[in-house]
Chain A
C-alpha cells in the first residue's frame, strides 16, 4: 500500500492519542499537564516534521462532544428519534425532557450546547405553549433548534430568539426523517471542534479539516468487509478511556418504528470508560445482578475492581463489554434494544483491543450469550488491534 505511505493520521482521544502511518499505529497516553498540541509535538514531533501539512490527517473526540437537551412530547417517537439523530451526528451528552413533565422539571445547571425541540406529525393541534418559554428562560444554551410539528412553528419562532427551524423529524407516516437535523448537528459538532482552542492549534500541523472520531468510524463501516471477515449484521464496540461507543447494523434494531436511512447507527455509553470514567463503570458493574456470577466465572472476586493492576484493567474491560451487551439486550429497557440473537460478528476496537486477548473477549461474550440469551454459540469476534477501522474511515473521508 504505497499510496498511503505518505500520510500521517492522528486521532486525539480524551485519555490517549494515536498516530498511524504505513498501516502501523502507535498509542500514547495524554499528558494532562500540557495542552494537546504540545503533548503531540513533544511525543511525536520528529515524525510529524517528516510530513507535509497536506499529508497529515487529524480527527478528535477529545473535546468531549456537545451537550444536548432534547424536549419532546413522547418518549418513543419525538424524543427517541431526536436522540437517535443526535448520536449519529457525534453528540455524546444527551439529556431528555418529556414535555408533559415540564412543570416539575429542574433546568440543567450547566450550559447546554444545543436544545432540540420536537413533537408531533406535521398537522396536529398545538403541542407547545408558554410553559416551554418559561422553562427555556431558566436554561442556559448556545443554540436552539425546532424540528417539530407545523402548527407550533410560528408561535415558537416569534417567541424564541435565534430559533433555528428545520424540517419535522417525524414524517406523516410517523417515520423518522433525519437528514436536516443530522446535517445541522454534524456541522455544529464540527464547528465546536474547530472552535476549541486546543484543537485550533493543531491546524498548524495540518491543512486538512479535523473531523470527529465517531464520524470517521461510522464512515468506514460500509467497507468493513474489505478489512475483516465480518458478516452483517455486526456490532462494533469501541471502548475508550472516557466513553464506550457502539456502532451497529440497523437490521439489529428491535423496535421497527425507527427506520433510519443510514445502515449503521451509533450509541454512546458515557459512563463506561476504563480510565476517566472508571468509577462509574465499577458502579455500573456492581449494580448489575449478574456481576458476581460473572466475576466468579472469571475466577476473581470483587476486590479486584478497586485494584490498580493490569489484571484489574483486563477485568474492567471485560465487564465493560458485558455491560454494553447487557444494556442493548432485551433484558434492559434502556434507550434501544438490539436483536443480539441474530448478530453475526462483533468487532472490538479502541483501547481494549490493545489489552484484551481473543480469549479474554471470547470468554466474556460466551458468558453473556449463555447466561442472558441461553445460547451455546456466539458471534464471530474480530479484534481491530491496529485500529484499521479508523485508518479506513480516515481514507474514506479524505479520499485521495
Chain B
C-alpha cells in the first residue's frame, strides 16, 4: 500500500511529520513524504504520479481549513476513485468542537478526519478501513 503524506500549507511543524513517516513504514506502507510546507495541489499531483492508496495530510498550526476548501475542485480534475483521503492533527485555529470539525472536513472531501487524535489510534482506523473492516 502506498501513502502520500506531508504537512499542508505554510506549516513548519516537522516533528509529527517525521513520526508519521516512521510509523507508516513500520506498518509496511510505502511512504512518499512531501514534508512540511506542502500545498494541496502537490499532494494531489503526488497521488497521481504514485498511484497512492492513501493521502494522509497533517496540519498542526490549524491552517488546513483554509486550504481544504479547494479539495473537491482539485479532486474533480483527476480520476481519484478509490483513494482514501485522510486528515489529522490540529484541525482548527484555537478551540473547536469535534462535532463541528468532523462534518466540516468531510464536506470538504475527506473520508477520515482526526482532530487531536492519537496517531496510532488513527493509523489503526486507516488500516481497518483499507481492509474494509470499517
Contact = CB atoms under 8 A, between A and B. Distances in A.
The 3 closest A-B pairs by CB, nearest first: A74-B45, A76-B45, A124-B51
B77 A174 contact: no
Contacts of B45: 74-77
22 contacts: A73-B48, A73-B49, A74-B45, A74-B48, A75-B45, A76-B41, A76-B46, A77-B45, A77-B46, A77-B48, A100-B78, A119-B49, A120-B51, A121-B50, A124-B49, A124-B51, A174-B32, A174-B34, A174-B49, A174-B50, A256-B35, A257-B42
Interface in A231-272: 255-257
A125 interface: yes
A255 B34 CA distance: 10
Contacts, number: 42
A257 B34 contact: yes
Interface of B: 32, 34-35, 41-42, 44-46, 48-51, 77-79
A116 interface: no
A313 interface: no
B46 A100 contact: no
A173 interface: yes
A121 B50 CA distance: 6
Given A73-B49, A119-B49, A257-B34, 4 more contacts: A76-B41, A76-B46, A100-B79, A120-B51
Interface of A: 73-78, 100, 119-121, 124-125, 170, 173-174, 255-257
Given A75-B41, A257-B34, A125 B46 contact: no
The interface residues of chain A, by DSSP majority, are classed as: loop
Nearest to B78: A100
Contacts of A74: 44-46, 48-49
Nearest to A119: B49
A173 B48 contact: no
Nearest to A256: B35
Nearest to A170: B49
Contact of B49 (A77, A100, A255, A256): A77
B102 to A, nearest CB: 29
B42 A76 contact: yes
B35 A124 contact: no
A305 to B, nearest CB: 35
A84 B13 CA distance: 29
Contacts of B78: 100
B84 to A, nearest CB: 17
Contacts of A255: 42
Nearest to B38: A257
A100 B49 CA distance: 12
A188 B100 CA distance: 58
Contact of A174 (B41, B44, B46): B46
